[in-house]
C-alpha cells in the first residue's frame, strides 16, 4: 500500500448497516474498491456488512461480486478478488441487541488478529426511520466507545435526509449529541463532494477579477438547477414519502446556494468553511405565504403514480421551483432561483450567475440603430455558469464586436472543461472522496449541525403551506415548467 496516504496510518474497520441496499452496491462499495485499487486504504482494513438477510461467507462474497456496480474491465480481477478478501458479514436485525453484541465480538476478534486497536467507521445505509434504533443500539453495546488506550477512533456516517422537518431534525441531533462528539459525526450531503462544486470556492477566492463583483451591486440573479432525465424507478416507496423539496431542496440545492454566496472563510479548515456556509443559510429570508403562492411552483410527471411503490392517489411533487433571497447587505434584493425536477429533458446540475446589464445608454442607442447585431438589448447579459454534472466545467458568456464596418455585437463563450485536461479527466467519485475524508477526519465536505438546522428553519415554513400550491402535471422529457 501507499505509505504516503493518510489512510495508511492505522488499521480501520468499516461497518455498513444495510449492505444489501442500493446505496451500498451503487455507491459505497464501488468507492471503497476505487480507494483500494489506488492503494489508499490501510494495509489492515476490513469491511463488515450488517443486514437481516442470511448468508454463508461464500454466498455473501458471490452476492457482493454480483452487485458490485462497476464497469467491466475497470479493475484488474486480482484487485477485485483481494478486495473481497477484506469483506465479511454479520447477520442481524437492526432492533436486535444480541446482533450488536455479536458484531462487537467480531470487531474484537479482528483487533486481536491484528494485535492492535483499530479505527471504527459505522455507515448507516438505511432508511432514516431506522436511525434512532441503530444509534441507540450502537451506544448500548458500547460499539461507539473508542478503545481504552485511545489508539483508535470511532466515527458515524449518516445519510440525508436529517429529519423530516425542524423538530425531527432537532430530535435526531439531540440523540447524536448524547452518543457522539461533533467531531465523530459525518452527515453526508454527497453533492458537497462533487469536484466541480468544490471548485467554486477556488474559482471565486483565487481569482480577484470576479470576487470584487460578487455582490448585489453587480449580480442580477442566481439560478441553481438540478435536473434529472430519469424518474424515481426503484425509489418510489421512499420518494413518495418525502418528495423533491425534502429529497434535494432542503439539502443539495441549499448547499449549492451556500457555496456560491458565502463569504471568504478565515482559513480553509473545515470549521471555518462550514461556519461561513451556515451564516448564509441562517440569513435566508423566510418566504411568506403570499410570496410562496406567487413565486413558487411544484409539479408531478405523468406516469409517476404508476411507479412501483407510489400511491395511485399520490400528490407528491417531482418538480420544484422556489425563489429565495438572502438578508445580508451583500445579497439583499438578489433573487436566487432553486429548481429541480425528475423526468426532465436532460440530466444536468449547474449554477448560473447573471451579471447586471451594462448601463452605457449611449452604446445601447448606437446598437439600436444597427440591425446587424445578433444579440438584442434584452439578451446582453454576462452569465457565468458552474457546470456540476455532467461535463463538469465553467463557462462565461461575453460580448464582442463583429468584424466589419458596422458596430454590431455578437455573443461568445469562454469554456473550461475538466475532460479537456488529461490530468483532470478522471474525477474522483463523490462517495470516494467522502469516505476518504471520513477516514482522515476531515469534515469540510460534511454538513454541520448549524447548517442542518438553518436549512430546516428555511424549509419548514414552506412545508406548512406546501399543500396550498397547485400540483402541475408535466410530460416526461419536459424542458421547463411554467
In this prediction, residues 345-360 reach a mean pLDDT of 89
CA angle 53, 176, 129 (to 5 degrees): 40
- Based on the fold, state whether residues 206 and 120 are members of the same structural domain: no
Please state, rounded to an integer, the average pLDDT across all residues of the chain: 88
Q: Which residues contact 74 (CB under 8 A, 6 or more apart)?
A: none
Is the residue at 225 inside a domain? yes
**Number of domain units in the chain:** 2
- Based on the fold, state whether residues 118 and 206 are members of the same structural domain: no
How would you write 422-469 as a 3-class SS string?
A: CCCCCCCCHHHHHHHHHHHCCCCCEECHHHHHHHHHHHHHHHHCHHHC
| Tens-place pLDDT, residues 250-277 | 999 999 999 999 999 999 899 999 999 9
- Based on the fold, state whether residues 196 and 151 are members of the same structural domain: no
| Tens-place pLDDT, residues 20-48 | 888 888 899 999 999 998 888 888 899 99
Is the residue at 413 inside a domain? no
Last-in-domain residue among 116, 136, 159: 159
252 noted as active-site residue: yes
Which pLDDT score, from 0 to 100, does residue 4 have? 42
- Based on the fold, state whether residues 135 and 262 are members of the same structural domain: no
Indicate the DSSP class of residue 418. Answer: G
Is the residue at 383 inside a domain? no
CA distance 328 to 216: 10
Q: Strand 446-447 and strand 409-417: pairing?
A: unpaired
In this prediction, residues 320-348 reach a mean pLDDT of 96
- Based on the fold, state whether residues 41 and 146 are members of the same structural domain: yes
User: Does residue 218 have a pLDDT over 80?
Assistant: yes
CA distance 63 to 58: 8
- Catalytic site residue from 123, 190, 252, 436: 252
Last-in-domain residue among 117, 140, 159: 159
- Other C-beta atoms closer than 10 Å to the C-beta of 399 total 15
Is the residue at 316 inside a domain? yes
- Based on the fold, state whether residues 114 and 225 are members of the same structural domain: no
Full domain range(s) for residue 299 = 192-351+423-474
User: Does residue 436 have a pLDDT over 50?
Assistant: yes
- Based on the fold, state whether residues 251 and 137 are members of the same structural domain: no
Is the residue at 110 inside a domain? yes
Is the residue at 329 inside a domain? yes
Last-in-domain residue among 135, 159, 183: 159
User: Does residue 5 have a pLDDT over 70?
Assistant: no
In this prediction, residues 106-110 reach a mean pLDDT of 91
| Tens-place pLDDT, residues 166-201 | 898 898 888 888 888 888 899 998 888 888 888 899
| Tens-place pLDDT, residues 359-393 | 665 555 555 555 555 555 556 789 999 999 888 89
- What is the CATH number for 451? 3.30.360.10
| Tens-place pLDDT, residues 444-455 | 999 999 999 999
Which pLDDT score, from 0 to 100, does residue 399 have? 83
Q: Give the three-class secondary structure for 78.
A: helix
Which pLDDT score, from 0 to 100, does residue 8 have? 47
- Based on the fold, state whether residues 60 and 106 are members of the same structural domain: yes
The pTM score is 0.89
In this prediction, residues 219-234 reach a mean pLDDT of 94
- Based on the fold, state whether residues 80 and 229 are members of the same structural domain: no
| Tens-place pLDDT, residues 51-104 | 988 888 888 888 888 888 777 777 788 888 899 999 999 988 989 899 999 999
- Based on the fold, state whether residues 136 and 227 are members of the same structural domain: no
- Based on the fold, state whether residues 16 and 106 are members of the same structural domain: yes
Q: Per the structure block, which three cell numbers stand in for 111?
A: 483487533
- What is the CATH number for 31? 3.40.50.720
- Based on the fold, state whether residues 125 and 209 are members of the same structural domain: no
Q: Which helix (H) or strand (E) holds 352?
A: strand 348-355
Which pLDDT score, from 0 to 100, does residue 364 have? 56
Amino acid at each position: 500500500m501507499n505509505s504516503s496516504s493518510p489512510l495508511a496510518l492505522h488499521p480501520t474497520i468499516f461497518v455498513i448497516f444495510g449492505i444489501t441496499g442500493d446505496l451500498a452496491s451503487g455507491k459505497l462499495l464501488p468507492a471503497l474498491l476505487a480507494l483500494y485499487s489506488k492503494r489508499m486504504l490501510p494495509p489492515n482494513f476490513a469491511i463488515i456488512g450488517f443486514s437481516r438477510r442470511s448468508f454463508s461467507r461464500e454466498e455473501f462474497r458471490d452476492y457482493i461480486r454480483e452487485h458490485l456496480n462497476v464497469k467491466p474491465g475497470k479493475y484488474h480481477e486480482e484487485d477485485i478478488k483481494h478486495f473481497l478478501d477484506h469483506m465479511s458479514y454479520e447477520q442481524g436485525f437492526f432492533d436486535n441487541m444480541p446482533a450488536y453484541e455479536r458484531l462487537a465480538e467480531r470487531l474484537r476478534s479482528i483487533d486481536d488478529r491484528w494485535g492492535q486497536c483499530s479505527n471504527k467507521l459505522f455507515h448507516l445505509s438505511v432508511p432514516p426511520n431506522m436511525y434512532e434504533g441503530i444509534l441507540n443500539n450502537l451506544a448500548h453495546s458500547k460499539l461507539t466507545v473508542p478503545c481504552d488506550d485511545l489508539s483508535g477512533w470511532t466515527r458515524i456516517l449518516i445519510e440525508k435526509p436529517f429529519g423530516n422537518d425542524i423538530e425531527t431534525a432537532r430530535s435526531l441531533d439531540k440523540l447524536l449529541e448524547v452518543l457522539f462528539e461533533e467531531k465523530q459525526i459525518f452527515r453526508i450531503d454527497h453533492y458537497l463532494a462533487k469536484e466541480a462544486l468544490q471548485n467554486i470556492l477556488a474559482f471565486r477566492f483565487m481569482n480577484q477579477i470576479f470576487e470584487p463583483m460578487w455582490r448585489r451591486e453587480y449580480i442580477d440573479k442566481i439560478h441553481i438547477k438540478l435536473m434529472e432525465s430519469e424518474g424515481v424507478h426503484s425509489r418510489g416507496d421512499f420518494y413518495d414519502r418525502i418528495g423533491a423539496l425534502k429529497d434535494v431542496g432542503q439539502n443539495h440545492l441549499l448547499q449549492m446556494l451556500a457555496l456560491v454566496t458565502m463569504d471568504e472563510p478565515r482559513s480553509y479548515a473545515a470549521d471555518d468553511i462550514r461556519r461561513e456556509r451556515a451564516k448564509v443559510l441562517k440569513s435566508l429570508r423566510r418566504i411568506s405565504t403570499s410570496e410562496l403562492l406567487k413565486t413558487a411552483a411544484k409539479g408531478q410527471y405523468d406516469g409517476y403514480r404508476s411507479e412501483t411503490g407510489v400511491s395511485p392517489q399520490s400528490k407528491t411533487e417531482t418538480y420544484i421551483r422556489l425563489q429565495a433571497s438572502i438578508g445580508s447587505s451583500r445579497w439583499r434584493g438578489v433573487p436566487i432561483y432553486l429548481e429541480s425536477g425528475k423526468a426532465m429533458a436532460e440530466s444536468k446540475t449547474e449554477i448560473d450567475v447573471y451579471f447586471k446589464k451594462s448601463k452605457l445608454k449611449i452604446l445601447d442607442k448606437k446598437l439600436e440603430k444597427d440591425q446587424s447585431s445578433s444579440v438584442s438589448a434584452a439578451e446582453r447579459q454576462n452569465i457565468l455558469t458552474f457546470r456540476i454534472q455532467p461535463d463538469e466545467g465553467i463557462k462565461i458568456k461575453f460580448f464582442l464586436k463583429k468584424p466589419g464596418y458596422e458596430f454590431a455585437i455578437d455573443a461568445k463563450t469562454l469554456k473550461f472543461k475538466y475532460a479537456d485536461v488529461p490530468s483532470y479527466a478522471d474525477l474522483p467519485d463523490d462517495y470516494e472522496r467522502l469516505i476518504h475524508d471520513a477516514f482522515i477526519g476531515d469534515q469540510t465536505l460534511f454538513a454541520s449541525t448549524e447548517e442542518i438546522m438553518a436549512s430546516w428553519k428555511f424549509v419548514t415554513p414552506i412545508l406548512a403551506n406546501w399543500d396550498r400550491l397547485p400540483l402541475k402535471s408535466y410530460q416526461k422529457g419536459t424542458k421547463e415548467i411554467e
